[in-house]
Amino acid sequence: MRVAILAKNDFRSPRFLAESLTRMLTKLGVEFDYFPNALAQLEAMSERSASTRHRFKAIWADLQGITHTLRSFDIIIVSDTIGILGRPQILRPLKQLDKPLLFYEVFAYQGAQFWRDKFGPTAHHIFDGLLTVSGIHDIEPLTDRPIFEIGLDITPQATFLAQRPLTAMIDFPREGYTAARQTQLEALQTLNIPILELRGEYTFSEIEAIYAQVGVAFVAFPEAFGLPIVQIQFQGGYIASPAASWVKRHALLSNGHVYLEDSDRKSFTNNFLIYGSKDELIEQLISIKNNYDPWAVRQTILEQQPQYIHGNLNALCRALKSCI
């Protein structure tokens, strides 16, 4: 069995997931090749094909080069943001290869209300199956394509700092969420907790070095999943959020579960600080500041959610077997 992994060569989550997948396939002993620029090439070709300024022959030659390479693989896995489902023209050349085509994202399209409303109930049909990091859904998922909750395999680059003061990390301002950010800043300033504010773009190694210093990280807005939430916990940092629903796909719930705020908002590990007011946040910060143990935070996610650290190899194996 040979697997091709297609992604974009940037620093966003799809590349992170693609590289995670290479580590999981290595553990399974599956032969694979990683094409970090393939989706960017396919996207560029789809844009050129719509333009009369470019010759058809040039586009055809580029397309033939990519598809010729991919014909030697048994399974093709696409790692990209969910938005690609709204641009099926990018994926059609892959579908025409008549190879099993899988999609790897942090959540499943079939159980995501916003995206189903935006792209319709069949946009995911171009894929034969969906691989996800989290198996928690917004709504009851469609069952017309299999979902495999394979988790995530992370390899931190930064040295783990077992002894360090409690330092907070605040994300850059997000439109519509300035009030929540201000509450976070005021609570931290009240307790004189040092603050790291993110600004601009970072490489993987640069952001890992920052995460290694963080004792508590604040969620800036409702996350689809939030890969940094996993990375920071593994580096010994707590996660603070003004609402449980902002981090719902990290709840301690079984795969396939539909998240319900009233019944599930307390279904999180002790690594999560869920607060409803500034006073409640200050109270929780005082508690962790006086007893901060980065190693205990890391052990919590390792023991209670190992699928986000080492991946779920059984689920990945089932996904691959479903294609042959």
User: In CATH, which of 3.10.20, 1.10.3470, 1.10.20, 3.40.50 is domain 2-153+310-321?
Assistant: 3.40.50
CA-nearest of 224, 217, 220 to 175 is: 220
77: CB partners within 8 A, 6+ apart: 3, 4, 5, 6, 21, 101, 102, 103, 104, 131
Output the pLDDT for position 72. 93
Gyration radius (Cα) of the chain, Å = 21
Q: Name the average pLDDT for the chain.
A: 91
Q: Where in the chain is the domain with CATH 3.40.50.2000?
A: 168-307
27: CB partners within 8 A, 6+ apart: 153, 311, 313
Task: Tell me, yes or no, if the pTM score tops 0.85.
Answer: yes
By percentage, how much of the chain surpasses pLDDT 90? 78
Task: Provide the pLDDT confidence category of residue 56 given band limits of 50, 70 and 90.
Answer: very low
| Fold entry, domain 168-307 | Rossmann fold (3.40.50)
What stretches of 89-173 adopt beta strand conformation (E)? 101-105, 129-132, 147-149, 168-170
The single residue listed with the structure tokens 């009030």 is 179
Q: CA 220 from chain center: how many Å? A: 16
Report pLDDT digits (tens) over 209-268.
Answer: 999 999 999 999 999 999 999 999 999 999 999 999 999 999 999 889 999 999 999 999
